[in-house]
């Protein structure tokens, strides 16, 4: 059996984890593994989405970058 660690989670997160259990006896370790696996499978897509969100909110027009006072 792998070593285990204790982690603190809020009551709200515990409730959410309980809601996404596949079956009542599923462990929190199993639930978190599923979430991590899902994240890793979709990580590249998430990076693309995050990049497009950042670049659309942080665009600077060329006019503004070329009008620096000297």
pLDDT digits (tens, 9 = 90+) for 3-58: 999 999 999 999 999 999 999 999 999 999 999 999 998 887 767 766 666 656 55
In a domain, 21, yes or no: no
Q: Whole-angstrom Cα distance, residue 31 to residue 25? A: 11
Global pTM reads 0.59
Does 56 map to a domain? no
Higher confidence at residue 59 or residue 30?
Answer: 30
pLDDT at 42: 87
Burial of 62 (0-12, 13-18, 19+ CB in 10 A): exposed
Q: Write down the pLDDT at residue 69.
A: 45
Q: Is residue 35 part of a domain?
A: yes
What's the structural domain count of the chain?
1
- Give residue 35's domain range: 26-51
Q: What is the pLDDT of residue 45?
A: 75
Residue 64 forms part of a structural domain: no
Q: Is 42 among the domain residues?
A: yes
């Amino acid at each position: 059996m792998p070593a285990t660690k204790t982690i603190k989670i809020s009551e709200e997160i515990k409730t959410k984890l309980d809601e996404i259990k596949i079956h009542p006896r599923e462990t929190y370790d199993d639930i978190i593994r599923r979430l991590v696996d899902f994240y890793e499978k979709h990580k590249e897509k998430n990076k693309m989405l995050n990049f497009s969100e950042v670049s659309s909110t942080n665009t600077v027009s060329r006019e503004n970058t070329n009008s620096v006072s000297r």
